[in-house]
Chain A
Amino acid sequence: MPEAAPRALSGPEHRPAGIVTRVAAMGVDIAMVVVLGSIIYAAVAGARLIWTPTSFTWPTPSFGVITVTELGLAVLYLTASWAMTGRSYGSSLLGLRLLTFRRRIPGWPLAFVRAVFCVFFPIGLFWVVLSPARRSLQDVVLRTVVVYDWHRAA
Chain B
Amino acid sequence: MPIVPSKEVCVSADNEPAPLFLVPAADDDHGLLGTAVHFAVGTAWWVTGPVRLGGRLAARTAEAVLSDARKRSGWLQGITSGKPDRGTSTPTKDSQTQRSGAAAGKTGSARVSSIDLTIQALLRPLITRVVDTALAELDLTEIILENVDLDAVAAKLDVEAVIKRVDLDGVVATVDLDAAVDRVDLDRIVSRIDVDSIVAGVDIAAVIDRVDVDSIVAGVDIAAVIDRVDVDSIVAGVDIGAVIDRVDVDAIVRRVDLDAAVSTVDLAAIVGRLDLNEIADSLQLDPLVAKVNLEAVVDRLDIAGVVAKVDPDPIVARVNFDAALSQIDLIGIAQKIVDGIDLPGIIRDSTGSLASEAVQGVRAQGQHADDAVGQLVGRVFRRRAAIDGNST
Q: Which A positions have Cβ atoms within 8 angstroms of B?
A: 12, 15-21, 24, 93-95, 129-130, 132-134, 148, 150
Contact = CB atoms under 8 A, between A and B. Distances in A.
Given A94-B362, A150-B360, A17 B370 contact: yes
A24 B368 CA distance: 13
Interface string B367-391: 1011101100100000101110000
- 9 closest A-B pairs by beta carbon, nearest first, are A18-B370, A21-B366, A20-B369, A95-B363, A20-B370, A15-B387, A21-B370, A94-B366, A20-B366
Contacts, number: 48
B359 interface: yes
B373 A129 contact: yes
Contacts of A12: 392
A95 B359 contact: yes
Given A21-B366, A21-B367, A133 B360 contact: no
A16 B366 contact: no
B363 A150 contact: yes
A24 B365 CA distance: 11
A15 to B, nearest CB: 5
Interface residues of B, number: 17
A21 B368 CA distance: 9
Contacts of A20: 366, 369-370, 373
20 contacts: A16-B387, A18-B366, A18-B370, A18-B373, A18-B374, A20-B366, A20-B369, A21-B366, A21-B367, A24-B362, A94-B362, A94-B366, A95-B363, A129-B373, A130-B377, A132-B383, A132-B386, A133-B387, A134-B370, A150-B360
Contact of B363 (A19, A21, A132): A21
B371 A18 contact: yes
A17 B373 CA distance: 11
A15 B366 CA distance: 13
Interface of B: 359-360, 362-363, 366-367, 369-371, 373-374, 377, 383, 385-387, 392
Contacts of B374: 18, 134
Nearest to B374: A18
Nearest to A130: B377
Given A18-B371, A93-B362, A132-B385, 11 more contacts: A18-B366, A18-B369, A19-B370, A20-B366, A20-B369, A94-B366, A129-B377, A132-B387, A134-B374, A134-B387, A150-B360
A129 B370 CA distance: 9
Contacts of A17: 366, 370
Nearest to B381: A130
Nearest to B387: A15
B324 to A, nearest CB: 49
B331 to A, nearest CB: 35
Contacts of B385: 132
Nearest to A24: B366
Contacts of A150: 360, 363
A21 B360 CA distance: 13
A16 B392 CA distance: 14
Q: Give the interface centre of B359, B360, B366 by most chain A CB atoms within 10 Å.
A: B366
A26 to B, nearest CB: 12
B17 to A, nearest CB: 171
A21 B359 contact: no
B197 to A, nearest CB: 111
A116 B28 CA distance: 191
A12 B385 CA distance: 14
Contacts of A130: 377
A24 B370 CA distance: 11
A94 to B, nearest CB: 6
Q: Give the interface centre of A12, A20, A134, A148 by most chain B CB atoms within 10 Å.
A: A20
A12 B386 CA distance: 11
Contacts of B366: 17-18, 20-21, 24, 94-95
A24 to B, nearest CB: 6
Contacts of A129: 373, 377
Contacts of A134: 370, 374, 387
Contacts of A133: 387
Contact of A94 (B363, B371, B373): B363
Nearest to B360: A150
Nearest to A19: B373
